[in-house]
Amino acid sequence: MTLLKEELLTGADDPAGLRQLIQLADQVVRTWQPAWSPFLDARLQEEALERLSNLSEIGWHRDGGYPGAERCRFLCQRRDPIGDADTCAPVQGLLIEGNFLFDPLSPEDIRNALQELGAAPDQIGDLWVRGDRGGQGLCTPESAARLHEQRGRVRDVEIRCEALPIEALHLPAQRTPRILQTVEASCRIDAIASAGFGLSRAKIVGHIKAGRLRVNWHDVRLASRDVGVGDRLQLQDRGALEVLSLTRTKRERWRVELRRS
């Protein structure tokens, strides 16, 4: 199969990531052997499925180690495989221990520390904080073996890594999607996010300035930006909002319908 690489890459948000997946598809077509990608961020996953799902000889399956994972690996395989491929991604659990009672930890802190210990960014999946004793996360089996029993630092706090089966982790709770309705004076991000996530606008503005709030998986730093129907807002550790409808009221306000998950 000859892939129309340039056509598939034209106008892509992440051409480098998409090119890597196209090369993976070429490999699978040549060898007839299914193959797993590295961990992909959510924005690249959506773009890849939109652009590559129509390839006639190739099928894709994604798995991040648990339902609802944000960072996932893609299984690329021929649509007419000789045998069934294992659709469970090769993913390993990781415990990151440290005393963060006086120095609060964030998932980004953990990610940076693991990279300093030698883990490649695309070998690390989702990470989450577990109280003041550190965090947990997912990575490739190769990275888990490399990080096992290694010690590092997050600022002044020493951490220790331990590879664990996924079953031994306390996985993030899965939110049940629900529909919310609110009436707001504007469609600004800070107004919509405040209503949807149940936080004050001041706190939402703080999250925006800290880079913890994204729109359609893109970083956003402007609280006054308007959102539209179909936009999705992701707030670190708080889930996601999807704007289902925006309707102007007689009093020149906005009736907003949201799906929170």
Question: How do residues 25-81 score in pLDDT, each as one tens digit?
Answer: 999 999 999 999 999 999 999 999 999 988 888 999 999 999 989 999 999 999 875
Confidence grade of residue 238 (pLDDT, cut at 50, 70, 90):
confident
pLDDT for 81: 58
In the chain, the percentage of residues whose pLDDT exceeds 70 is 97
DSSP designation for 167? G
- CATH topology for 5-78? Ribosomal Protein S8; Chain: A, domain 1 (3.30.1370)
240 against 221, higher pLDDT: 240
Query: And the tokens for 188?
Result: 């600004």
Parse the chain into domains and list their residue ranges. Answer: 5-78, 92-168, 178-260
- Which segment of 18-32, 75-89, 114-128, 146-160 scores lowest on mean pLDDT? 75-89
Average confidence (pLDDT) over 19-25:
94
85 against 17, higher pLDDT: 17
pTM: 0.85
CATH number of 178-260: 3.10.290.10
- The pLDDT mean for the chain works out to 93
Confidence grade of residue 85 (pLDDT, cut at 50, 70, 90):
low
Q: How many CB atoms lie within 10 A of CB 6?
A: 7
Question: How do residues 192-216 score in pLDDT, each as one tens digit?
Answer: 999 999 999 999 999 999 888 999 9
Confidence grade of residue 247 (pLDDT, cut at 50, 70, 90):
very high
How far apart are alpha carbons 27 and 31 in whole angstroms? 6
Average confidence (pLDDT) over 110-116:
97
pLDDT for 260: 96
Element (H, E) at 20: helix 15-31
237 against 32, higher pLDDT: 32
pLDDT for 84: 56
Query: Exposed/middle/buried for 115, CB within 10 Å: 0-12, 13-18, 19+?
Result: middle
Asked whether the predicted pLDDT for residue 1 surpasses 50, the reply is no
How far apart are alpha carbons 240 and 41 in whole angstroms? 15
Task: Give phi and psi for 191, each to the nearest 5.
Answer: -70, -45
First to last CA, the chain: 39
How far apart are alpha carbons 244 and 164 in whole angstroms? 40
CATH number of 92-168: 3.30.70.330
pLDDT for 228: 96
pLDDT for 3: 47
